[in-house]
Chains A and B, each alone.
Chain A
């Protein structure tokens, strides 16, 4: 502990505060400042060591690890079905996606068939989650740009999404709705109608956000032609998601490698042109409409049938069977105490989260606990784009760019 503290002090001492006035004829001195981990615009506890020349950012170094939670290690200590809530808390704005990546990986190892209804229910919840994540992103980013009113509207709609989550699963966040083999419970009566009403209002509300922002000269000046990173650099860094799509590359795993019956739906992939902050904003904003379209299509075509696999070795038996069937009781006991065993092997399951490619790598040694769980979190990889996006720009643009990169530090540090 003492070494860590002294490192911290050393880093602090290395910060030089220049008192030289910047002006004509004066040699400009580089100044290194520390931004974060407690900074309202870092969207979490990200620490940035910024080297400035006057107001211009010459270099930037993100320091991460301030919300390291040991989630991957903890997941190794739990049976597969008990690891879901731990994994869900990783990227706390896209909990359905975390659960989906993990459950999908385990399902691949188990070779379990997920019923069609469960796949559609998953898609509906994933897209609702995508809308919610983008709403939080839009609201907090606009605060960073100095426009607080958008935040009120975004959080109003976020509450509407969370009400739907609460209705279907009982929790607002970290719902633990996705299980290995399906979803935990069928949707309650009246939920479909409420989701339809929500998508209808969401489209008009998204129109209203655009009306607020698209003609706002301050927003346009802050976003247009700032934080540009070209497609080749982004691909070289492994950046995915809306950031890559804003640079013109229509890479989306929902189209490129469809999972959970995403190939049944007709939707478009919004792409940008030059990859500046404005494109990033427009791409995410357009994705809200596409998500609404997917939800509507999934509700229209929602198949009847079981909501979780009927494989009793993996999924809990229905409650009423426990009173009548000895076999169901045994299965229930085995699943709750030990959990199901997974055949040895390793698998990588990528899905498209609101921030990009969220992959889950699971290695099984044949026991009921995973030997290794690793998450390829998009926020972690996308954070590498911070330096190329902000180098040689103003420090005010750094805040705007960081907001538009949309990193979630819970996912970065895990």
Chain B
């Protein structure tokens, strides 16, 4: 067996060598590293960002959904932490039974007129920052029922992401949550208008149109009707 010796600080030595980096760190701690080398050392190792971005990154990766099921979609929502999809990969598996500890409300199912004030109250009990996902057709657009009993969620609370389906597959809900994560982290994905270069296709209400007559949500986000 041949034993070789190489000078650590020599030019021939590879700077990516772990031992060299360790010695450098020791030198730095002693204050032996000159300024420019210290600059380089810091630049190589420290990532600078704004506090907002760091907080958003942490928030987006640790959503706590509320344990709140309404109907069919709740069963599909329950299969999210299950073995096949395992939402714990993204850090969203900590379902919280108390709205005070949750920051994501997944409206999983149909919201009846009787249930709407309760849902609104649960949403109000959640602490800021909070987000809401309308899962399934019923709480987005009243779905197949479309009758006297169902209220779309947009009528009584602000919704961040709508997940279509009846019920949506768990993969679809996962996709919705990941979209929400992107939005929380400040890099919201481009909508279809950006993707297809379709600006100017927005439907704008004319002056003759009365609010409420057209199929347009007359409430602002977060506004409620005495609920």
Which residues of A are in contact with B by a Cβ distance under 8 Å?
1-2, 4-5, 8, 37-40, 44-45, 65-71, 73-74, 85-86, 89, 92-93, 136, 140, 152, 155-156, 158-159, 172-174, 409-410, 413
A159/B166 in contact, CB under 8 A:
no
Interchain CB contact under 8 A, A136 and B147? no
Stretch among B68-76, B177-185, B210-218 lining the A interface = B68-76
> Among the listed A5, A66, A159, A173, which residue makes an inter-chain contact with B112, where contact means beta carbons less than 8 Å apart?
A66
Instruction: Tell me if B115 and A66 are in contact (CB < 8 A).
Output: yes
Are the C-beta atoms of A70 and B148 separated by less than 8 Å? yes
Q: How many residues of B contact A (CB 8 A)?
A: 38
Q: Which of B76, B114, B122, B145 contacts A172 (CB 8 A)?
A: B76
Kindly list chain B residues whose C-beta atoms are within 8 Å of the C-beta of A409.
Answer: 71
B145 near A155 with CB under 8 A, answer: no
Show 15 residue pairs from A and B whose CB-CB distance is below 8 angstroms, ordered by the A residue: A5-B117, A8-B117, A37-B118, A74-B146, A86-B144, A89-B144, A89-B166, A152-B82, A155-B83, A156-B83, A159-B82, A172-B169, A173-B75, A174-B167, A410-B71
Contacts of A136 in B (CB 8 A): 75
Q: Which single residue of chain A is at the shortest CB-CB distance from B80?
A: A155
* Contacting residue for A158 out of B67, B79, B99, CB 8 A: B79
Cβ–Cβ contact B72 & A92, under 8 A: yes
- The answer, yes or no, to whether B109 is at the interface (CB within 8 Å) is yes
Q: CB of B135 within 8 A of chain A?
A: no
What residues of chain B have their CB less than 8 Å away from a CB belonging to chain A?
Answer: 67-72, 74-76, 78-79, 82-84, 97, 99, 109-110, 112-115, 117-118, 122, 138, 144-150, 166-167, 169, 226-227
The answer to whether A173 and B82 touch across the interface, beta carbons within 8 angstroms, is: no
CB distance from A213 to the nearest CB of B (A): 19
Given A1-B226, A38-B118, A92-B71, check contact A74 B83 (CB 8 Å): no
Contact A67 B71 (CB under 8 A): yes
By secondary structure, the B interface counts as: loop
B residues within 8 A CB of A4? Answer: 113-114, 117
| A45: contacting residue among B67, B115, B150, CB under 8 A | B115
Given the complex of chains A and B, what is the CA–CA distance between A93 and B67 in angstroms? 19
Contact of B70 among A67, A70, A85, A156 (CB under 8 A): A67
Inter-chain pairs besides A1-B113, A89-B145, A173-B72, 19 sampled, C-beta below 8 Å: A4-B114, A5-B117, A5-B227, A45-B115, A67-B71, A69-B138, A69-B150, A70-B145, A70-B149, A71-B145, A89-B71, A89-B144, A93-B75, A155-B83, A156-B82, A156-B83, A172-B76, A172-B167, A172-B169
A155/B78 in contact, CB under 8 A: yes
